[in-house]
Amino acid sequence: MIIKRIKLITVLITIATSYSFAQTQRKPMNQLINEEFKFALEQYKVLAKNIPAGKTPQSFANGKPVNQDIKWWCSGFYSGSLWYLYEETKDASIKLEAEKALKVIEPNQTYTGNHDLGFMMYCSFGNAYRLTSEPAYKAVIQRSAASLATRYRPNIKSIQSWNKNKYWDCPVIIDNMMNLEMMNWASENGGSPKYKEIAVTHANTTLKNHFRPDLSSYHVIDYNPETGAIKRKATWQGAADCSAWSRGQGWALYGYTMMYRFTKDETYLKQAKGIAHFILNHPNLPADKIPFWDFDAPGIPYAKRDASAGALIASALLELGQYTSGSEKAEFKSVAETMIFSLASPSYHAKLGENGGFLLMHSTGAYPLNSEIDVPLVYADYYYLEALLRYKKWYL
């Protein structure tokens, strides 16, 4: 009887969520995008007031802003989001704030302490250069690519993610796929060919070692740095070593879609499609398409959601749709639309002046570490804005 009641409650929650989504979906997408950028323009002016000098915004928790040092892996998302806002609105004050944010993180171009230089320097300076063609920005990207290349380990044929510590010997995480975008771009824009060679080799090693037969991804592969042998396949932020951590699946989807963009290697396109179908066909993907923090999280359907995973996956699906056709393209576009409408609904969307100035609520950073649970996260906003721009560019 108890089991039947739980199943009934789950069905009712699903129906309610679907109805709520259907109501939100009635707004034309072009109207929604325009309204979202107007909102984001004002909301980020609120966010800008909460940032101490020399810091970058990360979250808002317990009624207080959370800011980080510039070497925190998320330090480039704020300036990147500002450039997306400037791209759409042409607001001069936002451009000034974006330029100011770049100055804060510019010293990271020589940082070699982790693998996150792509997040830190390409999401920021990459967008800045794309919109302004400022040579100084290009030089920073090239220097950042050189710094990231120092973490390439020939014995494991990958870029080492974290430094050796008491938990890991030579770890590579699925997130690292995202940093390959900067390496590809640097080679194609006057930098050393070795950067793209490293990106391709890393992507191939990850494809070989990170994925299960169903094309879900492990979070961490720990290697023997001398022999290249795999020591362990595990997780750090997921529910279990064998689970599918939701944002990790998003990193994989985005990463292989991006690798196809740069190489036109059909192997990467096939991998991206397979990852997408794993995500979209998973029985634990909710009706509003915003994932639980892990597809195998304990307590589903009451587990915490991860709006950042939803925004990331939506953006990736919109690009993947550009390389597909027919019913597959239609499916990727449709699910991305669902995700955008859900994120724009009151279920995930902040009110003006609230949420510390962040756009989205209900992201999950690292649930097993009791870190950043059910809070706004700067990269959720970044990929949400990116998804909106991509939809407008490719589908309107």
Catalytic pick among 69, 91, 169, 175: 175
Strand partners, 363: 375
Catalytic pick among 91, 116, 294, 306: 116
From CA 29, how far away is CA 44, in angstroms rounded? 22
Q: Are 335 and 280 in contact (CB under 8 A)?
A: yes
Strand partners, 234: 220
Active site residue 241: no
Looking up tokens 């791209």 gives 87
Question: Measured between alpha carbons, how far is residue 231 from residues 115, 354, 391 in Å?
Answer: 20, 46, 41
Q: Are 380 and 74 in contact (CB under 8 A)?
A: no
Active site residue 175: yes
Looking up tokens 């396949």 gives 233
From CA 378, how far away is CA 381, in angstroms rounded? 5
Question: Measured between alpha carbons, how far is residue 106 from residues 79, 88, 102, 144, 195 in Å?
Answer: 11, 24, 6, 10, 20
Strand partners, 222: 171, 232
Strand partners, 65: 60
Residues annotated catalytic, as ranges? 116, 175
